[in-house]
């Protein structure tokens, strides 16, 4: 009899704890889905680059970040990036909290994957402000 009471109390405690943590997980999922929908809503165009190194060909492995470049994120977690020289880069993107990670092929002939990490500083339906965590560091503003 005591074992049955102890077991029922333990199950009740587990159920209460499970219900307590479920709303927080749902809120985090909803926040992530909301960020993803804002990111994938349109093609983003760079309007400001706050570091000169981001525009240099050697520092950026052959792919510069300049004003006027287009950046788009798809709902299938693939991205496309077109610069002013009509070069195109594509790959996959992953959102982890405030960190946006872009995974793409290396620009040289080594046949390896590279990832570039950005911290999302500001995100709204008409503005995206990223801080590059990977070297060379810098800040980029999209509209």
Cβ-contact 136, 51 below 8 angstroms: yes
Beta bridge partners of 10: none
- What gap in Å lies between CA 69 and CA 79, rounded to an integer? 13
Model confidence, pTM = 0.73
Each residue's pLDDT tens digit, 102-140: 998 877 767 788 888 999 999 999 999 999 898 888 898
Domain ranges of the chain: 36-142
Each residue's pLDDT tens digit, 25-61: 566 677 888 898 899 999 999 999 887 767 665 555 5
Cβ-contact 58, 45 below 8 angstroms: no
- What gap in Å lies between CA 117 and CA 115, rounded to an integer? 7
CATH number of 36-142: 2.40.128.280
pLDDT recorded at residue 129 = 94
Each residue's pLDDT tens digit, 56-106: 655 555 567 888 999 999 999 999 989 888 888 889 999 998 999 999 887
Cβ-contact 28, 12 below 8 angstroms: no
């Amino acid at each position: 009899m005591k074992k049955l009471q102890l077991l029922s109390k333990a199950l009740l405690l587990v159920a209460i704890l499970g219900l307590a943590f479920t709303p927080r997980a749902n809120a985090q999922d909803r926040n992530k889905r909301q960020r993803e929908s804002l990111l994938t809503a349109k093609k983003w165009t760079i309007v400001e680059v706050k570091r000169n190194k981001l525009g240099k060909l050697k520092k950026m492995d052959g792919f510069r970040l300049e004003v006027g470049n287009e950046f788009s994120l798809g709902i299938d977690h693939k991205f496309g990036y077109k610069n002013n020289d009509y070069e195109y880069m594509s790959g996959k993107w992953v959102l982890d909290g405030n960190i946006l990670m872009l995974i793409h092929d290396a620009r040289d002939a080594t046949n390896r994957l590279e990832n570039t990490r950005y911290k999302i500083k500001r995100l709204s339906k008409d503005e995206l402000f990223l801080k590059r965590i990977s070297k060379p560091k810098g800040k980029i503003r999209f509209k």
